[in-house]
Structures are given as C-alpha cells and as structure tokens.
Amino acid sequence: MICILDNVTNKFMGNRWFWLGAFGFLATISIWFRSSLFGFDSYATLSAIRFGWFDTLGGQPIANLVWSIFPDSLFVFKFIMFLSLFLSILAIFKLVWFFYDERKAWLTIFLLMGLSPVLLFGFGEFENEVLAYPFFVWSIYWFLTSKDKKTTIQSIVTFFLGLSFWFWPFYLTFFNFGVSSGAVEQNMFAGLLNFWFLLPFLFFIPLLGGRLKWFGLLALFLWLWNAKLFILLIPFVALAIVQGLILLEKHDTIRKTIYYLAFFCLIGWNIAFLLQQPTNSDWFVVDKTVELAKDNNYPIFNDWSYGYWLWSKGIKTKSNPGYSLGDVSYQGKGIYLTDVNLPCVLVFEKKEIARKSTKIWQCN
C-alpha cells in the first residue's frame, strides 16, 4: 500500500490533479452505480427541479436559482456531487501540502476517505449543501494559508458565497439552538455519530500550531453543536490526521494496519451506500401506493419518510419530511403507506430486517 502511494507521489508528479480526481472518483464510485438518488432530502431537490416546486425549499433562494436552470438528469446530479467533492478534496490536499509535504497530503486524502463514510455520504446527497461545501473548504484553505490582506478578504468573500447557498442550516444552527424541526443530524452532539474511525484524530487537533489549533477547536465545537457543519471541521481533521501519522512514524505495524483498514473500509462504505434507501423494494411500495390511489381516486396518506419520494413522482401529500413527522393516523378514506396498523384493508406488507414492516392500507 505504501509503495502504491509512493508511486502516486513520484511517478505522476505532473498529473497529480488528474490522479486526485481519479482517486476521488474510485473512492465514491457507488454514487455512479446507484440507480437512484440517496436518502430523503435529495428528492426534495429533485422534485423542485422536476416540477418547479421551489416553495418546498425555503431559505435558500440562491440555491433555488441554480437548481432552476438544471436539467432533470441523474447524470448531471451525480456530476455536480462529484465535482463538489473533487474541488473540496483538492483544497484539503493543497492545505496539507502547504503545512507538510505532498506525500502526507496523498496519505491524508486516502485516510480521510477510507476511515469514515462522512465524505461519501455527505457529498452523495443531492442538496444545496453540495453547492456550498467547496466554497467553505476553499475559504478555510485561503484563510489558514493567507500571507496578505488580499487573500484574507478573498477567504471571507468565498465563505459568504458558500453561505448564500446554505443560509437555512446556518440560521437553524445559531438561532434555533442547534435543533431543527426534529432533524436528527441537527441535534446537538449528533456529529459524534458520523465520524466513526476519525474520532481518535480529533484528539490531535490541540497539537496543531497557532491559529490552526484555535480555529480547529472552534470548528470542532460548531460540528458538535450541529452535525450539518461537518464540512467546516474536515480540513482540520485532515491536519490532525497528519499529526497522528507523525506520532506513529516509528510504529510501522500500527501505521500499516490503519492503511489496510482504510482500504477495506473504503470498499465497505461504498457497498453500504449502494444498499441505502430508497431501494428497489421502496420504489415498489411507492409505485403500488400511487397506482392504488389513481385506480380508486383516493388521496394518499403516508409516513413522513415516504413524502419526498412520492413528490418525485408528481404526487404531493401532506406528510413530507420537515412538516408532518411521525406515523400516520387514520384520517378517513384513502390509501395509506405507513408502518402502523390501521382499521382498514391490508393491501400489501413489506417486511424488512431491523426496520418496521411497511404496509399499504386501503381505507374506504
């Protein structure tokens, strides 16, 4: 593994940006192999683009303007997510190289992508965040490497450009006490759940010198306050990884174990990403629900988790993420897509491992 990384840093010196992009592509290849978008909120963005429902994406007028010119193309969506990732890891690569050397920059990107799924899953969700992330990372890069007033101003302007795409999460972070409408990722300390094997490296942030340490600790606090702000911490985690590698320079066995662990985890994260919702079985129950509703001319009532998936089919319901959290209760005549039992006719039931079974009810 070390030999491979050495070859990357020596043989391909003139093409390092191409090879960095190639590694980023391979590290997140499952994004390209999914036949659908990942998660729930991606389908809010998709529905806005597909049907012009930008009123559902409140608090992000600049992002909505960008989305309004996008074609309804899965390939385009995936390309934007990948481009956002590439630009971000490019800035992190340059940041580590600035303070250390190129070989450590390659190792850091490899470990950052391998030891935790946070970048794959963070950049794999099609939301306004993917427009904002590169601006934040480059802002941090320019600020930390700044040697003149011009670069510092450039950093601040870039930060606010990113903020223009991502106003709502920042508003919720600083004025809503870190909690947003029941969204788990915006509860305090939720960030502890999404860094996995990177957690040990957080203890190396205090070892960083000067303002790297203090801004790193500030980013750590913001991330613990609201997990949505993970991108502000990533550049400092990258620098902390280098500190960890320096401390392990005389411990080859531990170092090599970490490298192999990162390699196999990288494969594991991609497999896990492919298995995430919505799956083919999820789309089956959504399509079945829509079909029954049309055949009977009934309204649809659904658990919140199915809301934006239904919206992406052109079916607006009352229960979409962010508005009607929780299970559906009996509301009269209709087709119900829910986890709970209702006093109606059970049309279909999908049983799943480690989750409640999903049921389609017809209530006359």
d(CA 134, CA 132): 6
| Residue 241 and residue 121 share a domain | yes
Non-local (6+) Cβ contacts of 115 within 8 A are 196, 197, 198, 258, 261, 262, 265
- The whole-angstrom separation of Cα 63 and Cα 162 is 10
Question: Can you give the pLDDT at residue 297?
Answer: 93
**Residue 183: strand, helix, or coil:** strand
pLDDT of residue 194 exceeding 80, the answer is no
Q: Do 217 and 288 share a domain, yes or no?
A: no
Do 20 and 162 fall within a single domain? Answer: yes
pLDDT score for 78? 96
Question: What sign does the dihedral 315-317-320-326 (CA atoms) show?
Answer: negative
Are 255 and 329 in the same domain? no
- pTM here? 0.86
Tens of pLDDT, residue by residue over 158-174, are: 998 998 888 665 555 55
Are 210 and 323 in the same domain?
no
β-strands 300-302, 334-338 pairing: parallel
Cβ neighbours around 61 below 10 Å, total: 12
Q: For residues 54 and 81, what is the distance between their CA atoms, to the nearest angstrom?
A: 20
Determine contact, residues 328/303, Cβ cutoff 8 Å. yes
DSSP-derived secondary structure letter, 357: P
Residue 234 in this model has a pLDDT that exceeds 70 = yes
Surface-to-core class of residue 33, CB atoms within 10 Å of its CB (0-12 exposed, 13-18 middle, 19+ buried)? exposed
Give the residue from 157, 181, 169, 178 showing the smallest Cα distance to 60.
Answer: 169
Q: Indicate the length of the chain as a whole number.
A: 364
Residues 165 and 231 grouped into a single domain? yes
Same domain membership, residue 194 and residue 298: no
Same structural domain for residues 241 and 340?
Answer: no
- Is residue 195 located within the same domain as residue 131? yes
Q: What pLDDT does residue 325 have? A: 54
Report the run of H or E that residue 335 belongs to, with start and end.
Answer: strand 334-338
Domain boundary among 220, 246, 274: 274
- Verify that 141 and 254 share a domain, yes or no: yes
Examine the domain organization and report whether 298 and 358 are in the same domain. Answer: yes
The sign one gets for the Cα dihedral 96, 160, 147, 87 is positive
Boundary-marking domain end, from 226, 247, 274 = 274
Of 220, 250, 274, the last residue of a domain is 274
**129-150: pLDDT as tens digits:** 899 999 999 999 999 998 888 8
Q: 143 and 286: one domain?
A: no
pLDDT at 187: 66
| Structural domains of the chain, count | 2
- Better-predicted residue by pLDDT, 315 or 325: 315
- Reading across the β-sheet that carries 358-363, which strands appear in turn? 300-302, 334-338, 358-363, 345-350
- What is the domain range of residue 293? 280-363
Sequence-distant (6+) residues with CB within 8 A of 252 are: none
> Each residue of 5-58: pLDDT tens digit?
445 444 444 578 889 999 999 999 999 999 999 988 899 899 999 998 887 777
Is the model's pLDDT at 183 over the cut of 70? no
Rounded Cα distance between 277 and 116, Å, is 19
Phi-psi region of 150 (alpha: psi -120 to 50; beta: other; left: phi over 0): alpha
Q: What's the CA gap between 6 and 22, in Å, rounded? A: 16
